[in-house]
Amino acid sequence: MVMKSGMSYFSVSHFSVLSLAVSLFILLCALPAIYMLGLSFTSADGHLSFENYRRLLVEARQRELLRTSALLGAGAAMLATLVGAPLGLLLARARFRGKRWWRLALVIPLVVPPYVLALAWTWLDITSELTYSLTGAIIVLGVSFYPLAMLATEAAARRVDAGLEEAALLVAAPRRVFAKITLPLVAPAVAAAALVIFTLAISEFGVPGLLRINVFTTEVFTAFAALYDFGAATALSVPLLLATIITALAARLIIGERMLTTRRSSRIGLSLTLGKWQTPMVALLLTIIALCVLLPIGVIAREAGGLRLIASSLSNSRAAVINSFALAGAGATLVVMLAALVGYARARMRARWSGLVDLALITLFAVPGTVVGIGLIGLWNHADWRGEIYASPLIIVIAYLARFAPVAALLLAASVRQIPVSFEEAAVVAGASWPRRFGRIVLPQMFTGLSAAWVVAFIFAIGEIGATALVAPPGESTLPVRVYTLIANTPASNLAALSLAQVIIVFLPLALFALFVRQSGGEK
Amino acid sequence: MRKLIFLVSAFCCALLPTACGDRQRSAEREATANEVTIYVSTDRVFSEPILRAYEQKTGVKVNAVYDTEETKSTGLANKLLAEKNNPQADVFWSNEPVRTLVLESRGVLAPYKPPNADGIPATFKDPDGYWTGFSARIRVIVYNTNLVKASEAPRSIYDLTDPKWKGQIAIADPRFGSTSFHVAALYAELGDEKADEFFRKLKANGVKIVPGNSVVRDLVVRGEVKMGLTDTDDVNVALEDKQPVAMVVPDRDGMGAPLMPNMVSLIAGAPHAEAGKKLIDYLLSPEVERMLAQSEAVQIPLHAGTEGPKNIPPINSFKPMTLDYGKAASRVEDVVKRLQPILGL
């Protein structure tokens, strides 16, 4: 009834806040990519030129590289979803104790930098054919990213309105309800996570490089590191962006905008009572933890050779650790704040534009970190107030915003769409202003999504290197930048020790988070 | 909806001009002379102690930005290029010539002929003063002593194409880092046809291409391959770690081995140019060359009479490749494009 005439029920403050948020988003997050795109269409003397695009994908070699990249992305996304989605469902619906600890343990592969996981893979000493192959890379990236699928599926499974399932249970068996009601409602979130994993996998450069498979991202890299050509490098990023767009469109076609607004209930409608399946399930969880968590960490620890080395690496890196925490913490908080507002604007938008906005958001996420970094330098490194910011650690926080706010906005928009507009309308009728409605109704309903977004943004930010290595001012090194500046000429054992130190550092706040933050909605 | 678009556009239009315009450089920046900013590509473990020593000696604060390993990120040369219109750095210390020469060709560097450069042979200096070389490394062959007897160890890079070592050789990706310098030097020395032929034979011999020189060394240490091409400092780390490896300076009787000096340059428009010049002077001193020689970097001093590093043959005991660094570096882009189909990259 209300949405047809647009936003006429909403006040000026609603518009001011949202438009300010969207403007900030465009200026901070979209502008670097747009600037670089402009650069790619410019010749050396400043005229419009298609030179960088003329030779794109003309050679069979480049098409072959793109194909490998797409296979890597698809394979990693499928593996990650196959492992992560069932885990998410179990965590959301099955009854068993100590869920928060299982979840914490299962999240660890996301905290380990993918390059380090790839190193652990090579240190396993399996046959050369399997180790250095596309399959090997798919396994490494699948294991690295399955926690994303797991967290997304769990969040979606918890949000399904219990009333829908309870009503269905009156007429159908639990198995059928699960298949016909629960799973379709969870599917869009699973697809969204798979798309994010696809994008992350095709943007990977270090892992394919180490495992000796040639992918398209290497072309982007070569343009930067061997040819020093920013325009060409950006043009070479475009096929990767197109791959993401095509996959996003395909996902949308298959899954559809089947987003039923459901109330988030405080109880779980259909829970999975396992009965005799309890023991096999625990066995499955333990196997996954053994293979995906304990095995890689164990291999890295063995290579590190001893606690002493790890401890000394940590003490030497104290400044970098503190910087990383502070910057990633601030970054994650700002990302979530901006993304919550942008996500809300997207969720309440008219359907005609919404698909385009979603595509724009995922495309921004797919832009390589190095391209964003160069774009940020171009925009911020000027002899005025922008230069002051550029010379300060604030530029690193802006880099985090540019890289992660788009995908956070996408995921938080999904979270907002689950909240019925009727809630807000009722509040309007009761006389509440927009800030009050947003603060008292929308935000609390978004809590699970907000905390998940914060955790993921924090993990991504603390591991970010592509843009950070370019914009970080002198002396302000974050932990991954420090690790990568040191590893060039240290023995493998030092690298293992430093990486393990980094994993421990990042893991601690998550453990604290799990300890103190209670998940609502059927935690036990 | 329309209201939203209008307000967003209004905000953007208001803020965009400030995003695009540029203003006069503040003259106040020159005033803070007690600090200097240096971008360093030479490995942090070796360069950081040198810079800390300078800080202690002179009391000048050194703001250093270190480079990540060649294939982990795009590197400082790109940062310098991107910052060209508003330079943040004063000095660039590179660990191989190609990067410096690319920056020179893009107008990022400023000429400066420091007094300490007088002791360095002319072949390692730019005639116009845009860069000065010091403390060199050699591109060497490293092999596993458990798997390869000293008597059959390769003496020349051509030995790497010998079928008896099929599948047992590793090199770092020739598009990046010091390996890119090595291949550019080979192309300059041998000419295009012979160099193409060499790399074709190498590919046919099953050469493994890995992300970096340290990875080459690690594979040789682990015995996954028997030999590879890498830098002297990479081998030295393994030697100090008592690993079963040895190095060979190749082609002593032939074309010689490429000598890869560090290069230091002043940045055009440097915020603290005077402080930068003093730092350059310091880096080119025999004292620093001695420190780098004695550290695990085992870099060979170019000042005559300065004590050389252990584990590395002295500079007069092998034949360095005669190189025009400028000419070699200018061919890199070309060479990279030639190698892509040959090596299947």
In sequence order, what DSSP letters do the residues of B147-163 get, joined into one string? TS-GGGS--SGGGGG-G
| B210, B172 contact by CB (below 8 A) | yes
| B267, B92 contact by CB (below 8 A) | yes
Q: Flag if B214 and A484 touch (Cβ within 8 Å).
A: no
Whether A318 has a pLDDT exceeding 50, the answer reads yes
Nearest to B8 among A22, A350, A475 (CB): A22
A-chain CB neighbours of B176 within 8 Å are: 222, 225-226
- Which of A262, A281, A304 marks a domain boundary? A304
Mean pLDDT on A39-47? 81
Whether A237 has a pLDDT exceeding 70, the answer reads yes
Second CATH level (architecture) for the domain B32-136+260-314: 3-Layer(aba) Sandwich (3.40)
- Which of A285, A304, A323 marks a domain boundary? A304
Whether A301 has a pLDDT exceeding 90, the answer reads no
What the block records as the tokens of A389 is 């910011």
CB pairs under 8 A between A and B: 185
Q: Which residues pair with B263 in a beta bridge?
A: B94, B133
Q: What is the DSSP letter of A94?
A: B
User: Do A82 and A200 have their domain in common?
Assistant: yes
The Cα–Cα gap between B64 and B72 comes to 19
Q: Looking at CA atoms only, how far is residue B180 from chain A in angstroms? A: 8
Q: Cβ–Cβ contacts within 10 Å for residue A190, how many? A: 21
Does residue A518 or residue A398 have the better pLDDT? A398
Q: Cβ–Cβ contacts within 10 Å for residue B263, how many? A: 30
A76-121 pLDDT, tens digit each: 999 999 999 999 988 888 887 888 888 889 999 998 888 889 988 9
Main-chain dihedrals φ then ψ at residue B277, nearest 5 degrees: -60, -40
CA A172 to mean position of chain CA atoms: 37
Least confident of A290-294, A357-361, A498-502: A498-502
A-chain CB neighbours of B296 within 8 Å are: 489
B-chain CB neighbours of A487 within 8 Å are: 69, 72, 214
Nearest to A222 among B46, B218, B336 (CB): B336
Least confident of A200-204, A381-385, B324-328: B324-328
**A6 contacts: CB under 8 Å, gap ≥ 6:** A350, B1, B2
The Cα–Cα gap between B95 and B90 comes to 17
User: Do A115 and A26 have their domain in common?
Assistant: no
User: Do A147 and A294 have their domain in common?
Assistant: yes
User: Do A75 and A113 have their domain in common?
Assistant: yes
The Cα–Cα gap between A101 and A519 comes to 12
Mean pLDDT on A146-163? 85
Mean pLDDT on A200-209? 88
Q: Flag if A383 and B333 touch (Cβ within 8 Å).
A: no
User: Do A419 and A326 have their domain in common?
Assistant: yes
**CATH code reported for the domain at B137-258+334-343:** 3.40.190.10
Nearest to B26 among A19, A383, A465 (CB): A383
Nearest to B4 among A18, A377, A491 (CB): A18
Main-chain dihedrals φ then ψ at residue B141, nearest 5 degrees: -100, 130
User: Do A79 and A196 have their domain in common?
Assistant: yes
Find where tokens 């979603």 sit.
A358
B-chain CB neighbours of A232 within 8 Å are: none
Best interface-test mutation with A: which of B74, B86, B296 has the largest number of A CBs within 10 A?
B74
Q: Cβ–Cβ contacts within 10 Å for residue B49, how many? A: 14
Q: Looking at CA atoms only, how far is residue B82 from chain A in angstroms? A: 6
State the residue range of the domain holding A87: 59-304
Nearest to A225 among B15, B64, B75 (CB): B75
CATH number at residue A133: 1.10.3720.10
| B125, B279 contact by CB (below 8 A) | no
Q: Looking at CA atoms only, how far is residue A100 from chain B in angstroms? A: 35
Residues constituting chain B: 345
Q: Looking at CA atoms only, how far is residue A163 from chain B in angstroms? A: 33
Q: Looking at CA atoms only, how far is residue B20 from chain A in angstroms? A: 8
Residues constituting chain A: 524
| Number of structural domains found in chain A | 2
- Reduce the DSSP state of residue A382 to 3 states and report it: coil
B-chain CB neighbours of A486 within 8 Å are: 44-45
Q: List C-alpha distances in Å: B297 to B56, B91, B173.
A: 21, 21, 22
The answer to ipTM > 0.95 is: no
Best interface-test mutation with B: which of A228, A390, A395 has the largest number of B CBs within 10 A?
A228
User: Do A73 and A27 have their domain in common?
Assistant: no
User: Do A389 and A422 have their domain in common?
Assistant: yes
Q: Flag if A206 and B71 touch (Cβ within 8 Å).
A: yes
pLDDT of residue A154: 87
Q: Looking at CA atoms only, how far is residue B119 from chain A in angstroms? A: 29
pLDDT of residue B54: 95
B-chain CB neighbours of A18 within 8 Å are: 4
Best interface-test mutation with A: which of B72, B92, B94, B210 has the largest number of A CBs within 10 A?
B72
CA B185 to mean position of chain CA atoms: 14
Q: List C-alpha distances in Å: A16 to A267, A431, A434, B18.
A: 37, 19, 11, 21
**A211 contacts: CB under 8 Å, gap ≥ 6:** A118, A121, A122, A131, A132, A133, A136, A137, A140
The Cα–Cα gap between A390 and A377 comes to 8
Assess if residue A2 is contained within a domain: no
Assess if residue A50 is contained within a domain: no
Nearest to B210 among A212, A225, A390 (CB): A212
A457-477 pLDDT, tens digit each: 998 998 888 899 889 998 867
Q: Flag if B88 and A466 touch (Cβ within 8 Å).
A: no
Strongest mean pLDDT among A52-61, A296-305, A438-447, B242-251: B242-251
Domain boundaries, chain B: 32-136+260-314, 137-258+334-343
pLDDT of residue A452: 82
A-chain CB neighbours of B75 within 8 Å are: 224-225
User: Do A141 and A173 have their domain in common?
Assistant: yes
The Cα–Cα gap between A132 and A126 comes to 10
User: Do A401 and A292 have their domain in common?
Assistant: no
Q: CA-based diameter of chain A, in Å? A: 73
Q: Flag if B25 and A383 touch (Cβ within 8 Å).
A: yes
- Which of A282, A304, A326 marks a domain boundary? A304
B-chain CB neighbours of A374 within 8 Å are: 74, 78, 82
User: Do A295 and A330 have their domain in common?
Assistant: no
User: Nearest to residue B307, comparing CAs of B321, B287, B283?
Assistant: B287
Burial class (CB in 10 A: 0-12, 13-18, 19+), A354: middle
Locate the chain A residue with the closest alpha carbon to B26. Answer: A383
Whether A3 has a pLDDT exceeding 90, the answer reads no
pLDDT of residue A263: 56
Q: Looking at CA atoms only, how far is residue A193 from chain B in angstroms? A: 26
User: Do A30 and A81 have their domain in common?
Assistant: no
Strand B169-172 relative to strand B227-231, pairing: parallel
pLDDT of residue A100: 84
Tens-digit pLDDT profile for chain B (345 aa)?
A: 555 555 566 656 655 544 444 443 444 444 456 899 999 988 888 899 999 999 999 999 999 998 876 655 568 889 999 999 999 999 999 988 888 988 998 999 999 999 988 888 888 889 899 999 999 989 999 999 999 898 899 999 999 999 999 999 999 988 888 888 899 889 988 889 999 999 999 999 999 998 888 889 989 998 989 999 999 888 988 888 888 999 999 888 888 888 889 999 999 999 999 999 999 999 999 999 989 888 878 888 888 778 888 878 777 777 888 888 888 888 888 888 889 889 887
Whether A273 has a pLDDT exceeding 70, the answer reads no
Q: What is the DSSP letter of A491?
A: -
Locate the chain A residue with the closest alpha carbon to B332. Answer: A226
What the block records as the tokens of B33 is 């002379």
Assess if residue A395 is contained within a domain: yes
- Reduce the DSSP state of residue B136 to 3 states and report it: strand
pLDDT of residue B26: 42
The helix (run of H) or strand (run of E) holding residue A42 is none
Whether A258 has a pLDDT exceeding 80, the answer reads no
Q: List C-alpha distances in Å: A302 to A107, B219, B242.
A: 21, 17, 19
Q: Flag if B211 and A206 touch (Cβ within 8 Å).
A: yes
| A455, A297 contact by CB (below 8 A) | no
Mean pLDDT on A408-433? 85
